[in-house]
Structure 1
Amino acid sequence: MTTQIVILAAGMGSRLGRSLPKPLTQLSDGRSIMRQQHDNIRAAFGSDARVTTVVGYRAETIVEAFPEADYVYNDSYDQTNTSKSLLRGLNKTGRSGVLWMNGDVVFDPRVLGRALAHIDADRSFVTVNTSKVSDEEVKYTVTADGHIDELSKTVRGGIGEAVGINYISSRDKKAFMRQLQRVDDQDYFERGLELAIAEDGLRVAPLDISDLYAVEVDFAEDLERANLFV
């Protein structure tokens, strides 16, 4: 079965201060951030993976670097956030469940190996790190039965951070997309997921990868930390 994967790579990444799109930032091992993502995807799913990348800022540079991927162009990349980029990507993936990730996440290849059981069972999940809870990161709380409840940067009493690698099941996809359509242009995709949980009854599991590395590269210090692992 083909595994559908969406990579969000439309943003300008201005906080890192580079001219190229952030996913093309070179790591200490010589690969770009996106190349290590592709390598991890192929290691986990082999030739059965279909990667759709949502591009915007300097899109041609990403297309040239990864001609084998499929692409969706967000022509409003400078006016919208990840909610609208993800919606465009999901619209291109048919009815199947979709694994998606932010294009700036450097992560241990074992993360996808741990996710395989959930993907095979078509269960929605959000990967999380419970070892730290930073104010500027997306945080989460859980319901009494252990599923995701709140999910945003403004969560109070968060028990961990969302890592930026997630899966929406085929049965949950329609409701999630409807909420992504509804949210504001500047909302992150987590807002759509939070609304789908609250209003549509989605049950989204937290997938704990606290023992594995996963670094979302927003600033120079994040890149330095990521380079310690690759």
Structure 2
Amino acid sequence: MSLQIVILAAGMGSRLGRSLPKPLTELGDGRSIMQQQHDNIRSAFGDDARITTVVGYRAETIVEAFPDVDYVYNARYDQTNTSQSLLRALKASGRGGVLWMNGDVVFDPRVLGRAVSFIERDQSFVTVNTAKVSDEEVKYTVTAEGYINELSKTVRGGIGEAVGINYISSRDKKALIAQLGRVDDQDYFERGLELAIAENGVLLEPMDISDLYAVEVDFAEDLERANLFV
């Protein structure tokens, strides 16, 4: 079975102040954010990787730019957050595990290379960066055994930030789908992961990429920083 990969790209991205969906924002090397994601996916997993993109705001512009992938439509993109986009994508996926990423992350191609060993073990993981811990980002703590414990923007004493690239194993996917179905529409998908950890015993390993770059582009200054790497 080919690897299933989801890109969450339904949001309006209003903080960046562009008319197009944020994943279509052009980078300094001429590619869009989403194009560099596609390039990184193909480099790590080959042409057999199955990409499904969740679209909403100005969906036709993304479909036109990337006509050769599968799509899931979040018709309530202006009323919901990433929890509901991911829920739709997981329900539409096949039986295996799913790798997913936010559609606004510019990242080092080696990040996905590092993920291969986790995916081959079918081990759920959250990609993290311990180099900085910003108040406005999703932060995390770990258990005594080293698995993810808390995961949200309100975590206190966080030891790093979540990057926005994650994998749910085939055995854990059912629990995550159930928990995403419970959370509020405005919750991020991390809330579903937290509940799956607490109530279903899901074990999420942190995959540390602190030595590589990964920039989630929310504001103009984030885009400037991302362009220092590409």
Do both proteins adopt the same fold according to a TM-score greater than 0.5, normalized to the shorter chain? Answer: yes
Matching of residue 188 in structure 1 with residue 188 in structure 2? yes
Task: Name 2:69's counterpart in structure 1.
Answer: 69
The 5-angstrom pairing of residues 153-192 of structure 1 reads: 153-192=153-192
> How far apart, in 1, do the equivalents of 2:173 and 2:12 lie?
27
CA deviations 1:72-116 (Å, max 9, x no partner) are 000000000000000001111122100000000000000000000
C-alpha displacement of 1:188: 0.1
Query: Secondary structure, in 3 states, of the residue corresponding to 2:181?
Result: helix
C-alpha displacement of 1:21: 0.1
> How far apart, in 1, do the equivalents of 2:47 and 2:39 lie?
11
- Residue type of the partner of 1:155? V
CA deviations 1:14-57 (Å, max 9, x no partner) are 00000000000000000000000000000001022000000000
Task: Name 2:112's counterpart in structure 1.
Answer: 112
> How far apart, in 1, do the equivalents of 2:170 and 2:212 lie?
27
Query: Secondary structure, in 3 states, of the residue corresponding to 1:225?
Result: helix
Matching of residue 42 in structure 1 with residue 17 in structure 2? no
What is the RMSD of the two structures over their aligned residues, measured on CA atoms? Answer: 0.4
- Residue type of the partner of 2:183? V
What are structure 2's unaligned runs of at least 5 residues? Answer: none
Query: Secondary structure, in 3 states, of the residue corresponding to 2:140?
Result: strand
- Residue type of the partner of 2:24? L
> How far apart, in 1, do the equivalents of 2:25 and 2:94 lie?
31
> How far apart, in 1, do the equivalents of 2:65 and 2:119 lie?
28
Query: Secondary structure, in 3 states, of the residue corresponding to 1:182?
Result: coil
Task: Name 1:86's counterpart in structure 2.
Answer: 86
- Residue type of the partner of 2:170? S
Query: Secondary structure, in 3 states, of the residue corresponding to 2:92?
Result: coil
The 5-angstrom pairing of residues 1-230 of structure 1 reads: 1-230=1-230
Query: Secondary structure, in 3 states, of the residue corresponding to 1:83?
Result: helix
> How far apart, in 1, do the equivalents of 2:21 and 2:170 lie?
30
Query: Secondary structure, in 3 states, of the residue corresponding to 2:67?
Result: coil
**Identity fraction in percent:** 83
4+ aligned runs moved over 3 Å, structure 1: none
> How far apart, in 2, do the equivalents of 1:197 and 1:141 lie?
12
> How far apart, in 1, do the equivalents of 2:95 and 2:176 lie?
12
CA deviations 1:159-181 (Å, max 9, x no partner) are 00000000000000000000000
- Residue type of the partner of 2:25? T
Query: Secondary structure, in 3 states, of the residue corresponding to 1:8?
Result: strand
TM-score for both structures, normalised by structure 1: 1.00
CA deviations 1:179-223 (Å, max 9, x no partner) are 000000000000000000000000000000000000000000000
- Counting matched residue pairs gives 230
C-alpha displacement of 1:58: 0.1
> How far apart, in 2, do the equivalents of 1:94 and 1:80 lie?
24
> How far apart, in 2, do the equivalents of 1:127 and 1:85 lie?
19
> How far apart, in 2, do the equivalents of 1:92 and 1:39 lie?
23
> How far apart, in 2, do the equivalents of 1:87 and 1:107 lie?
24
